[in-house]
Structure 1
Amino acid sequence: MSKERSIREEEEKRLTEVLGIVERRLLKELSVLGERRGDVVGIRQEFWDDVSFNFSDETELGETWSSIVQQAEILAERERSHKVASTAASRLALQRDNPYFARINFKEAGDGFKESIYIGRGTIVGDDGETFYVYDWRAPVSSLFYDHEPGPASYETPSGTIEGELTLKRQFVIRRGVLKHVFDTDETIGDEILQAVLSERSDTSMKSIVATIQKEQNRIIRDEKHKLLVVQGAAGSGKTSAALQRIAYLLYRYRDTLTPDQIVLFSPNPVFKGYVSRVLPDLGEANMRQMTFQELIESRLGRRYEVEDLFSQTEALSAAEGTPEGDARETAARYKGSKHFFETVNRYLKRLEKEGVKFRLLRFRKDTIVSVEQMEEHFYGVLGHEHFGDRLAKLRRWLNVQLDQWVDSQLKEPWVQEAAELTDDEEYQRAYVELRRRGGYGEETFDDEAQISELLMKRAAENAIAPLRKAVKGFRFLDPLATYRELFRSRTLFTACAPDGRLPAGYEWMAQRAEETMDRKELDHEDATPLLYVLEALEGFRKVDGEVRHLFVDEAQDYSPFQAAFLRRRFPRARMTVLGDFNQAIYAQAEESGGFGGWTRLVPAQETEVWRLSTSYRSTEPIVNFSKRILKPEDAEGISPFHRQGEEPLLASCADGAELADRIAADAKALLETGYATIGVIAKTARECANASALVKERLGDDVPVTLVTGGSANLPRGVSILPSYLSKGIEFDAVLVWDASDARYGREQDRKLLYTVCTRALHVLHVYCLGAPSPLLAASGGSVPATDSSSAQASNEAPTAADAAPAAADAAVPTNSGALPRAAKVQSATDVPSSAEVNR
């Protein structure tokens, strides 16, 4: 018998044994799940039948309440049991499909015993409760698989370092409980597995990658020492995947003290939120809290002001591109996100401790209850010796006292008496009950009606000023907008607060812009974070999320230094993991230096670790090389593709919009028929996308699903998705069709990183179309070549290109190879790809 056959039989025997354990446990959990479901349904149906009601006296009322509470506790316990059983059954169902993906043999130093360790997405223990058949990939011993090749090896445990020798490293492809392939490897992760995973077609959501974690990613995932972890990675290098695996690892490592609610992930847009939402549940963990930065802003400012979001700002800047107004707006956006402005605002806040806070008067109809001057006098005069934070709470109490006094002063006013006379029977009854509770309507009282009348008048006055009470409770007597705006009304004030004593370039335009927009309670995106910072500083940062222990920020290069500092202040106890790529910094607010200085300044250097991931796994080697040439040589220098071959990207010019739509539609249809599931048509702006969507839908008809993805979209569907460039960040598609990468659309130096970002969204196929001359940024990426006769492609068994199917312009360009779409045979069968290793990097 050959060695390979012997190994396979050994592993198949082991797999059968493990699957038997999983199957028995799954049947047991399904039985429990059925029982618990029946219990929950039964209790809900009979809840009130099992409660004894008696309201005759206080004792019986108490017993009735106890009966209700007892029944509710029983229901809650059954619901918890049902949830536990459901989670266990789901996990076991995944393990039945693929119980493990790797095996290592490890011999501890000084110990003759050699242990075989199987690694999977979750632990599997034998029926005796002691024998480990499979170790969770997050267990300390599992790091041997990710970090070492056969030979001397060690791993860290809470009790210290374990050293020894790794004598075997083996990987498996298991699908639906069937062993497909066995690989012995001397590398960290075998290329066979990576090739299989990376060749797989994309899906509408990201998948777990535990079988293909690389050594450098594993170190990021398991880092427990640093307060700030910065991950700079090339497009497709697995930054986001590593972050999600890190969250899963932390929840496993600190499962007794850390909950998903104590972890927050900031996503670049709503589409991305939906895209990554399945990763943690696939690993048996509940999702962390996930939000966009805009959602954080809207939660605090959205009710008061009309707040522009980042995407609307990008559209506005694009529409004004090259104009004096557009240049001035871009300068303002960059400055208001800078460290200089953050320091200026901080110095301004310090100055506000002595003077300058703007207040809003409390007024009822035309009567002023408390004036702005009275608030200023009390805040800076009477309370001037108090700590700034304490003053606000005391001012709020003082304002409530002023409202109490005003209510008392109004009791004899005609409007109050009229309001009391209009009281309905229900309100009168409530007043009667309250008076009885106070001791009124007794045998010795003689002014009961007068008391009720007074009570009704007081309630009428209180009801009238209820909005003022609510405003005082919510600190609405502060005017943060006027306070912030003062920086742009007074040149003297700004220079006094600026760290260098100078006005920034474009100050006059910023001042005029503030006057125009803020009068209408409209906020430019670049003003939203500074205003929110001023608001929360005035209120004493009462909305601080002190319970959050870990903060993850994806696409961190797009956050300004001001936003980074604000998040540090908002989540003061959280350890931070920030991920990004300098080459994808596409927004005006991004730091011009092209680094993570806005983040690394927040934490001492000795508590910060910076990792760089240079290998791009997402795209084929031709696509990575094409995209690299868009960048400046010094920026592209550290990017290296994983050796996965594919067709050369196509670069073609179109005579007009009709031809462009023809080619895009033909491409999309051909790609879908070839077997690709997700096709991204990416235009520069939302306005272009709306036009592209209409044209492509008209040509494809109802047979092909075409979805226009907007800033409010939460899900990425299968089929053809048409979306603006800035919404494509963090997402990937089987094929990307770039809508008009011409000189007119991507001709400026500022467009370089945006075009690079768009092209790196493609997993397998990239077609770039231009209306007229291509962007000069594409010149080094290949450029135009003579057209290839479509018949030659068909004669060589290649499927005809979309360009072949559409009318070709005389100067149309095709890729440097045959330009054909890949044959169906080139796309690896899904049955040959390990489910445990499913990932779209």
Structure 2
Amino acid sequence: MDFFQQENTHLQGILKILRAEFGYLKSEIENLEEEYKKGLKEASETGRQDDAIDLIKDLNKMMDARHYSFKKRFIGRVIQQVNSPYFTRLDFVPLGYKTLSSVYVGKHAYASKDHRHIISDWRSPIASLYYNYPAPTPNASYTFLDEDFARPWIKIEKTVKGDLLLRRNIDIEDSKLLGVYDNNLKIDLVSEAISEKTGGILSDIIETIQSEQNEIIRSDPYRINIIQGTAGSGKTTIAIHRLSYLFYTYKDIIKENNTLLISTTNILINYVAKTLPELEIYTLRRSTLEDFIIKTIRSKGLKIAYEKGIENSTYKEKFKNSPEFIEEIKKFAADKKKSVLDDISSSRYFKKLDLGRYLSCIPDAPLYYQINLLKENVDGELGDINSEKKEGFVLEGAFFNELAEASLNLGKLMKDFDPVKLYKEFIQHLKIKNNAEIEFSFPNLNLDDLCGVYILADVLLGLIPNENKFTHVVVDEAQDIGLIGYEVIKRCANGSSMTILGDINQSTQKGALINDWKDLEEILDPSAVNYFFINVSYRTTKQIILFARKILEKFPAFKYLPEPFRREGEEPVLIQFDSREKAVSEIVMRIKEINKDEKSRAIAVIEPDPKEINNTLRYLKNNGVNPVIINEKFDDFKNTGVYLVPENLVKGLEFDTVFLLDPSLRYFPVNEQSAKRLFVCCSRAINRLFIYYSGELNPLLATG
């Protein structure tokens, strides 16, 4: 029997087991749903509303007790496994053993009812052999976590060494074996997978994770991992695969409910949403930094009217992203704490009620945490006196009056705490202290000021208790967050468990906030930082990424330039036009030509000029194309269709084909920021790039 027949026989055996599992689950789910429907019918026919409510509650408890939600989710996984149960076979002989172990690795693990491990999960330790070794390798190894015998709560990393005798790619689709490729003979597996991408939505890369990506995904979760990855290196994809790996491997510590994913726009937050369930991530908290700050502050009952201010590149904004500015906030807060506590300590009631005994227990706690503790104890004593008074045991006296005054004053201090007004006071204080103008538009805060408000509120109030801080934080498009933003992120994290991903060459804000990843060491613990670098652009064809690279090369100071992957494609096409309407008409003709094969693909028309969006939309519609317009709240990403995308919102997205409309000097003057913006636009394309320009070609796009 040849190896294809051998693998097909094995596949049929696995499919038989999986289909039996599917049948069992389907029957279980149908029975549960039928019981639930009968129960609802009975509840609807019940005369008393209270009885009906009790019946429905009992039904819901029954569904929970019999794991209905889990079974519904699990049957979806089994359906995926029936379609394609695994993608590789690894033959491995551990050192000191003579018996060969054949391991099949898939998107999900599966163990039979007699506990035989039939399929291993891609996140399992042994699966790393597939990602780390492209061919059979003697003295191969993988690591796993084991419990310390004496201290079972401590995990110890151990290494298994041995010989990898076979690394077999197995192509299964619709339950059919399409191909078997021994020892990485199918070297264009990655190229083929990428060329088949349609754009529009992220997809998992479980079968094609590269060794450098795998190293990041499986890296130490208790350190600050900073990843510099060029456009198309898979940063966002790595981030969500890493989360899936962490939730699987460290499930008792790092969980979805104590993990936070921060990104710079709601578009990117929504962009990853459809991919997360594919990686068994369902309840992960995702947010922009602005939304996180606002929700956290408001959750403490504090008011904050926020409207994002205008970005600017003045020195004052850079100052707000300096360690000196952050230290000034902390010092101001410390002075404010001392001043308020001095006032409380000098009050008449403080000594008479001996309130100092409470403060001595928490001298380092945030100011308003201390005030709240004082008020709780004062109100407790007031409550006791009022209870006794009702029983006729005590009369109101001086002690009661002191308590009432203390409660009133402490309550006023709590009620009057307004972090935005206090931040405004801080800015005025800093202006006088430094004898300098510091821009501050109240109440229309920009993100820097919003971060300042958060830090001030956290120092004085304690916005997130230590026990509620996030066990792990992931920051995507990290180059677009300033140092003051990382101070906020540090304050919401419990320790140094972070994954920070970005590309310095895509830092497109005026007066780039992060010029070097080493800058973060001024805020984060340098001893806890690991650096990773991915220079290969997997997404984009060699021709497109080399074209985009030449834009950056016009500025010698730029580093981390992209390297092409081994995927050939069409050269970028530059077309001059004299009428925008005619240009859009030609774009539509090209779209129709590209789509003649009727394959699914997402196509982007990138518009640099916000004032021209409506005109471009009208021209597209006049030519028979009704595009999807992407705005800041857009969330309906699909792998097909034409998208009209404002240039400032295109970062982080990808499309099969990109049309860039009129990147003239008016919108992209020759400077470093424009070069980065153009690099972002061009590198969104997976397979084709067309650039329509009016007048003279922008020098940034010149290839000569």
Instruction: Name the TM-score class by shorter chain.
Output: 0.7 to 0.9
Higher relative contact order, structure no. (Cα contacts within 8 Å, ≥ 6 residues apart): 1
Name the CA shift for 1:619/1:390 in 2 (closer, same or farther; >3 Å). Answer: closer
Please state whether the residue corresponding to 2:93 is helix, strand or coil. strand
Q: Which moved more, 1:191-200 or 1:769-778?
A: 769-778
2:25 corresponds to which of 29, 36, 41? 29
More displaced, 276-285 or 232-241?
A: 276-285
**Where does 1:397-546 land on structure 2 (aligned, <5 Å)?**
475-490=414-429, 493-495=432-434, 507-508=436-437, 510=438, 513-514=439-440, 517-518=441-442, 521-542=443-464, 546=468
SS at match of 1:307: coil
Greater mean deviation of Cα atoms: 766-775 or 633-642: 633-642
Q: Give, in angstroms, the shift of residue 612 of structure 1.
A: 0.6
Is 1:145 matched up with 2:143? no
Tell me which residue corresponds to 1:800: none
- Mapped partners of 1:538, 1:390: distance in 2: 5
Match in the other structure for 2:179 = 181
How far off its partner does 1:114 sit? 0.9
The CA deviation at 1:375 is 8.1
**In the alignment, what sits opposite 2:682?**
759
Counterpart of 2:143 in structure 1 is: 156
Q: Which amino acid aligns with 1:140?
A: P
What is the identity, as a one-letter code, of the residue corresponding to 1:19?
A: L
**Secondary structure of 1:83's partner?**
helix
Aligned partner letter, 2:310: Q
**Pairwise CA distance, 1:545:** 7.2
1:610 maps to 2:531: yes
Q: Is the 8 A contact 1:144 1:155 kept in 2?
A: yes
Cα 1:219–1:636 change in 2 (3 A) is same
Deviation at 1:337, TM superposition (A): 2.2
Which residue of the other structure, out of 99, 104, 107, is the alignment partner of 1:113? Answer: 99
- 1:300–1:123 CA distance, 2 compared to 1 (3 A): closer
Relative distance call for 1:284 and 1:120 in structure 2 (3 A) is same
Q: Does the aligned pair in 2 maintain the 1:545–1:570 contact within 8 Å?
A: no
Offset, 1:527: 1.5
In the alignment, does 2:120 pair up with 1:135? yes
Indicate conservation of the 8 Å contact 2:310/2:446, yes or no: yes
Deviates more, 1:242-251 or 1:674-683: 674-683
Give CA-to-partner distance per residue, 1:82-113, whole Å, 9 cap, x none: 11111111000000111001111111112111
RMSD: 3.6
Q: CA deviation at 1:634?
A: 5.6
Q: CA offset at residue 47 of structure 1?
A: 4.5
What is the CA–CA distance in structure 2 between the aligned matches of 1:256 and 1:585, rounded to whole Å? 36
Distance 2:368 2:663 in 1: 54
Structure 2: distance between partners of 1:136 and 1:51: 52
- Determine if contact 1:554/1:579 at 8 Å carries over to the other structure: yes
- Aligned partners of 1:397, 1:24: CA distance in 2, in Å? 60
Structure 2 counterparts to residues 677-756 of structure 1, below 5 A = 677-697=601-621, 699-701=622-624, 704-717=625-638, 718-749=640-671, 750-756=673-679
Residue of structure 1 aligned with 2:546, choices 610, 617, 625:
625
> Following TM superposition, by how much is the alpha carbon of 1:331 offset from its aligned partner in structure 2, in angstroms?
3.3
Q: Residues 526-550 of structure 1: CA distance to partner in whole angstroms, max 9, x if unpaired?
A: 3211122212322233466734211
SS class of match (1:172): strand
Residue 233 of structure 1: aligned partner: 229
Specify the SS of the correspondent of 1:753.
helix
Cα deviation for residue 255 of structure 1 reads 2.9
Counterpart amino acid of residue 576 in structure 2 = S
Which residue type is aligned with residue 170 of structure 2?
F
> CA 1:213/1:12 → structure 2, altered by over 3 Å: closer, same or farther?
same
Deviation at 1:755, TM superposition (A): 1.0
> Is residue 93–residue 164 contact of structure 2 (8 Å, CA) maintained in 1?
yes
Task: Work out the number of aligned pairs and report it.
Answer: 654
Matched, 1:635 2:569: no
Q: Secondary structure at the match of 1:744?
A: coil
Q: Cα distance 1:392–1:353, how it changes in 2: closer, same or farther (>3 A)?
A: same
Q: Secondary structure at the match of 2:645?
A: strand
Structure 1 counterpart SS, 2:623: helix
In structure 2, the CA distance between the partners of 1:331 and 1:714, relative to structure 1 (3 Å rule), is: farther
Matched, 1:78 2:63: yes
Task: Name the counterpart of 2:517.
Answer: 596
Asked if structure 2 preserves the Cα contact closer than 8 Å seen for 1:683 and 1:724, the reply is: yes
Compute the displacement of 1:158 (Å).
2.2
User: CA contact under 8 A between 2:366 and 2:460: conserved in structure 1?
Assistant: no
2:469 & 2:327 partners in 1: Cα distance?
A: 27
Provide the residue aligned with 1:349 in structure 2: 333
Would the aligned equivalents of 2:221 and 2:246 in 1 still touch at CA under 8 Å? no
In 2, the alpha carbon distance for the partners of 1:486 and 1:616 equals: 48
Provide Cα deviations, 1:566-603, integer angstroms capped at 9, x if missing partner.
Answer: 110122346100101111011236435x2223433444
| Cα separation, 2, equivalents of 1:332 and 1:380 | 44
Moved more, 69-78 or 215-224: 69-78
The 8 Å contact of residues 686 and 723 in structure 1, kept in 2 or not, is answered as no
Which amino acid in 1 is paired with 2:545? V
Shift of 1:403: 12
Runs of at least 5 residues in structure 2 that lack an aligned partner in the other structure: 147-157, 381-389, 393-406
AA matched with 1:248: S
Q: SS where residue 273 of structure 1 aligns? A: helix
The verdict on how the C-alpha distance between 1:143 and 1:394 changes in structure 2, with shifts beyond 3 A counting, is closer
Residue 498 (structure 1) aligns with: none
Query: What secondary structure is seen at the aligned counterpart in 2 of 1:631?
Result: helix
Q: Shift in Å at residue 133 of structure 1?
A: 2.2
Please state if 1:340 is matched with 2:262: no
Over 3 Å counting, the alpha-carbon distance change for 1:637 and 1:262 in structure 2 is closer
- CA shift in 2, pair 1:479/1:210, >3 Å: same
After superposition, the Cα gap between the structure-2 partners of 1:182 and 1:44, relative to the gap in structure 1 and judged at 3 Å, is same
Q: Is the 8 A contact 1:39 1:78 kept in 2?
A: no
Check 1:128–1:260 CA distance in 2 against 1; reply closer, same or farther (3 A cut). same
Given the two structures, how large is their TM-score scaled by the length of structure 1? 0.71
The equivalences for 1:121-270 within 5 A come to 121-130=107-116, 132-148=117-133, 149-152=135-138, 153-159=140-146, 160-186=158-184, 190-224=186-220, 226-270=222-266
Unpaired runs of 5+ residues, structure 1, are 55-63, 318-328, 358-372, 405-437, 441-467, 496-502, 783-841
Matching residue's letter, 1:113: T
Indicate how the Cα distance of structure 1 residues 222 and 760 shifts in structure 2: closer, same or farther if over 3 A, else same: same
- In 1, are the aligned partners of 2:344 and 2:350 still within 8 Å (CA)? no
Whole-Å separation in 2 of the counterparts to 1:738 and 1:193: 30
Q: Give the C-alpha shift of residue 125 in structure 1.
A: 2.4
Q: Helix, strand or coil for the counterpart of 2:558?
A: helix
**CA distance in structure 2 between the aligned counterparts of 1:723 and 1:345, rounded to whole angstroms:** 39
1:786 aligns to what? none
Aligned-residue sequence identity (percent) comes to 26
Distance 2:247 2:367 in 1: 40
Report the Cα distance in structure 2 between the residues aligned to 1:71 and 1:662, rounded to whole angstroms: 59
Q: Does 1:279 align with 2:275?
A: yes
CA separation in 1, counterparts of 2:665 and 2:467? 46
Give the deviation of 1:154 after TM superposition: 0.9
Q: Confirm or deny that 1:572 pairs with 2:557.
A: no
Question: How far apart in 1 are the matches of 2:660 and 2:15?
Answer: 46
Q: Which has the larger radius of gyration?
A: 1
Once residues 469 and 58 of structure 2 are traced to their aligned partners in structure 1, the CA distance between those partners, rounded to angstroms, is 27
Instruction: Give the structure 2 partner of residue 443 of structure 1.
Output: none
TM-score normalised by L of structure 2: 0.84
Q: Which moves more between the two structures, 674-683 or 146-155? A: 674-683
Out of 310, 315, 332, which is 1:313 matched to?
310
Instruction: Indicate how the Cα distance of structure 1 residues 297 and 283 shifts in structure 2: closer, same or farther if over 3 A, else same.
Output: closer
Q: Find the aligned partners of 1:679 and 1:378 in 2 and give their Cα distance.
A: 69
Distance 1:218 1:681, change over 3 A: same
